[in-house]
Amino acid sequence: MERYDVAIVGAGPAGSTAAYRLARARARVLLVEKARFPRDKPCGGGLTVRAVRQLPFSIEPVVEDRITRTRCRLRYGPKIEHQSPRVVCLMTQRRRLDAFLVEQAVAAGAEFRDGVHVAVDSETELRVDGRPVEVGAVIGADGANGITARSLGLGGAIVNGVALEGNLPYEELPGGSWHGRLVLELGTVPGGYGWIFPKGDHVNVGVGGWGDQGPHLRRHLRVLCEHYGIELRQLSDLRGHRLPMRRPATLLARGRALVVGDAAGALDPVSGDGIYEALVTARLAAEHTLEMLRGGVAGLEPYDTAVRRELDPLASAGWGAKIALDRYPRAVFALMRLPVTWRVLDGLVLGEVSHPGEARGAGLKAMQVIRGLARLAGSPHMAPA
C-alpha cells in the first residue's frame, strides 16, 4: 500500500497552495484531481492584492491585466467611476492560474496525479483509481460539489449562490477602454450583481446572485449583454456554477481531516470571490496539519477555530453589505459615492485593512451605516457578528 503524510483532494488554488506549503516543509504530499490538467474553471479570474499577499511565490507569469479603475452602476443607471492610486487586482484565467499553482507544488516536492477517480474511505485512507493509499491526514479541496466533505461528515450549513458567465473577444466589444477596469452592475440580480472583467484577449461577462436565481440567470445575463451592445449568443464557454457560503454551523475539521476553499464554503458573501479565502484556508491548513504530524496536537480541530478567527470578521461584514445592498440599494450606492467609502474599499482589497471594522474616522462611520442597514433589513442568511 502507498503511504503519504497528507493527501489533498482537489487541485484548485486552495489545494495546490496547501500542497506547496506542506511539501516545502518536507511532508510527503499526494495531490489528486479528477480532471485532466490543464482544465478551466468558471471564475471571474480576479486576484485582489489582498489575496496575492497570501501566496508564498509570485504569479507574475500568468497575470493578464492589472486593475486600477472601477466602474459601478446602479440598475444600469447612475454611475460611479473610481480610480485607485495603486493596482488593486490582478486578472488571470483559472486554466492558467491553477496549472501554474500545481507546477509550484510539484517543484516543491508534492506528487500530482490528475484525471483520477478518488474515493475517501476515512481520514487515513483513500482509493485512487481503486488502489488504496494510506495517509496521515486528508485535506478536502474539491470544491462545492466535492466528495471529501460528504465522505467525512464535514462541511454542511452552506448557503449556495449561483453564477453564470461567458467570454467575449475584445474585437467583438463596443468601443472604449476595457483594459485595467472592472465593471460592476449593482442592484440588477437579487443577492448579487453583473460584471465585466478584462483578460488578456477577452473579457469575462457574468451575473451572480442568490441560489433561487438559478432559473433566471440567463435572462439576467442577456439584459447585461444588451446594455453593452452584446448579443448573448456571442459569448463562448457559457457555464454556470454554485457559490458556497459557509454559516456558523459549518464543520471545517475533525480528527485528521479538514476542508479548505470552496469545500469549506470559504467565500466572500458580497463579492462571491473565494480566492483570498482559499489561500487563507490553505495557509492555515498547512500550519495545523504540520503541527499534528509533528505530534504537537492530536487532531485538526484547532484549524476550525483559526479559520473563524481570521475570516469571520470579514465574512460577517460581507453578509451585512450583501443584505444592505439587496434591500436598500440606493442608500448603499449613495454611500459608495463618498470618497471615504472608497478609501476603505481600497484598503480592504489591498490587504491594508483586514475587515471594515478596522476602518477609522469617516470611513468607519460609512461602514457602520451599511451594517445598520443590514440589521434593519434582517435576513435568515445573515451571519452573526
Give per-residue pLDDT as tens, 154-205.
998 899 999 999 999 999 988 777 899 999 999 999 999 999 999 999 999 9
Q: Which run of H or of E encompasses 313? A: helix 301-327
Give per-residue pLDDT as tens, 300-330.
999 999 999 999 999 999 999 999 999 999 9
pLDDT of residue 378: 78
pLDDT of residue 385: 32
pLDDT at 242 over 50: yes
pLDDT at 379 over 70: no
Assigned C-alpha cell, 115: 484525471
Q: What is the mean pLDDT of residues 239-244?
A: 94
Distance CA 357, CA 25 (A): 35
DSSP state of 322: H
Extract the runs of DSSP E, i.e. beta strands, from the chain.
Answer: 2-9, 29-33, 46-48, 65-67, 69-74, 79-83, 89-91, 111-114, 118-122, 125-128, 131-140, 158-169, 181-186, 193-198, 202-210, 236-246, 253-254, 257-259
Closest of 177, 178, 162, 167 to residue 95, by C-alpha: 167
Separation in Å, CA 316 to CA 60, 245, 319, 326: 32, 11, 5, 15
Angle at which helix 301-327 crosses helix 329-336, to 10 degrees, equals 100
Assigned C-alpha cell, 266: 470559504
| 8 Å CB contact between 268 and 50 | no
Type of residue found at 106: V
Backbone torsion region of residue 157, taken as left when φ is above 0, otherwise alpha when ψ lies between -120 and 50, otherwise beta: left
Domains of the chain with bracketed CATH: 2-61+93-157+246-311 (3.50.50.60), 64-91+159-243 (3.30.9.10), 312-377 (no CATH)
